[in-house]
Amino acid sequence: MHPSVAVEQPASAPTWTGDAAVVTEGLTKRYGSRAAVDGLSLTVRPGEVFGFLGPNGAGKTTTLRMLTGLVRPTSGSAWVLGRTAGESVAGIGALIEGPGFYPYLSGRDNLRVLAKYAGTPHRRIAQVLATVDLMDRADDRYGTYSLGMKQRLGVAAALLKQPELVVLDEPTNGLDPAGITDMRALLRRLAAEGCTVVLSSHLLAEVEQVCDRVAVVSHGRLIVQGTVGDLVGLGRLVIEAEPLADAVAVTGGLLGAERVSVVDGKLHVQAGPESAAQINRALVRSEIDVTGLRQEVRTLEEVFLQMTGPQPTGDDPPQGDPPGRSRRRFGRRVLPR
């Protein structure tokens, strides 16, 4: 069951506006009767770190392959850096589904081969190796690298051309905690330098910390896209009060009945921390005993699991509202942005 979440509500289906780094419109990829990606429409803004989330088999990697020209869409459109996807590879750096290098060549020689293909000066090789902290093993054969080193070399290859857009598919895979921290800092630094980053990840905590906006896909379809804050919502207040029925009435009258519910004998109110004092005063003035009041903030993981849970049979998952309609979030009507 997918909650109504206030997210970006485009007035119409995304189209190339000239100021987006990536736009997909109805992007679809079918393998036989199976739709790996089904009508995906999303937008990535220049300079942002965009998170691409979804369970295994959701279509994330297939989408990234289409954006980088490795896979042809069955239907729909994708524009990358102002050109049809696949035509603009020059401005893109990518690490798709794990690093792939020649095991008999050293890390440095692998990058040399790629630099020749990319037309990149060889001095850039040392720079990217230093960026991913691989200089001390650069001259060892790639076949001797650990998983983390291979992953870092993959990121180095993605940065080789000083791209405008970096597409990273699970970049922290195999990295130790220090490496993950370094990767997080690198992503932020890239964005600060004006680079757009599209990041596919299962590490929701990392996405929550790094990404400006995210898109959640499941079964090949876009579930929602928006800022992390939009997705997790304001959170809720959990209030223990007696008599409970009176507390429901008072709170509902204050904020609206649709935002109030009773769960396990406690009052759940869809509201932020700024409303706690107001609710508490109202309850006390109504001679209702407040025995507990705390805020619960939903994590991105909770939202993600809730959104990508089992699909109801026969229903299409929501892909964002039709233009002009408002949505309800936790019982409160939210106008389109």
Partner 1 sequence: MSAELVKLLRRPATWVLLGLWPSVQLIFSLLIPYVSYRRGASYEGSPPEALLAGVLPDRLVQNALSGLPLFGGALVLTLGALLAGSEYGWGTLKTLLVQGPRRLTVLAGQLLALLVVLAGTVVVSFLLTALASWVIAAGESAAFDWPTPGDLVRGFAAGLLIAGTWGAMGMFLGTALRGTALPIGLGLVWILAIESLVVNVAAPLLSLFDAGQALLPGVNAGSLVAALAGPDAVLRTPGVAAIVGGTQAAWALAGFLVLFGALTGLLLVRRDVT
Nearer to partner 1, 173 or 270 (CB): 173
Closest CA to 280 of 296, 268, 267, 293: 293
Minimum distance from CB of 68 to partner 1 (Å)?
5
Q: Out of 13, 19, 45, 72, name the contact with partner 1 by CB under 8 A.
A: 72
> Under a CB-based contact definition with an 8 Å cutoff, are residues 153 and 142 in contact?
yes
Nearer to partner 1, 158 or 248 (CB): 158
Q: Please enumerate in sequence order all residues whose Cβ is within 8 A of that of 290, keeping only pairs 6 or more positions apart, or say none.
A: 239, 240, 241, 247, 280, 283, 284
Backbone angles phi, psi at 307, to 5 degrees: -80, -30
Q: Out of 45, 75, 100, 281, name the contact with partner 1 by CB under 8 A.
A: 100
> Under a CB-based contact definition with an 8 Å cutoff, are residues 67 and 78 in contact?
yes
Distance CA 77, CA 73 (A): 8
Pick the stretch among 12-20, 114-122, 199-207, 280-288 that binds partner 1 (CB under 8 A): 114-122
Give the ranges where 164-203 is alpha helix by DSSP (H).
177-192
Does the footprint of partner 1 cover residue 157 (CB under 8 A)? yes
Does the footprint of partner 1 cover residue 150 (CB under 8 A)? no
Does the footprint of partner 1 cover residue 113 (CB under 8 A)? yes
Here the tokens at position 17 are: 């506006």
Nearer to partner 1, 72 or 333 (CB): 72
Nearer to partner 1, 58 or 204 (CB): 58
Size of the site for partner 1 (CB under 8 A): 34
Pick the stretch among 14-22, 154-162, 255-263, 296-304 that binds partner 1 (CB under 8 A): 154-162
3-state secondary structure (DSSP) of residue 39: strand
Amino acid at 234: L
Q: Out of 2, 65, 108, 259, name the contact with partner 1 by CB under 8 A.
A: 65
CA distances from 176 to 123, 144, 197 (A): 28, 18, 21
Q: Out of 109, 140, 246, 321, name the contact with partner 1 by CB under 8 A.
A: 109
Does the footprint of partner 1 cover residue 71 (CB under 8 A)? yes
Is 277 exposed, middle or buried (CB count within 10 Å of its CB: 0-12, 13-18, 19+)?
Answer: exposed
Torsion (CA) 216, 219, 221, 227 in degrees, nearest 10: 0
Minimum distance from CB of 320 to partner 1 (Å)?
28
Pattern of binders to partner 1 over 118-137, x per CB under 8 A? xx------------------
Q: Which residues bind partner 1 (CB under 8 A)?
A: 65, 68-72, 89-90, 92-94, 96-105, 109, 112-114, 116-119, 154, 157-158, 160-161
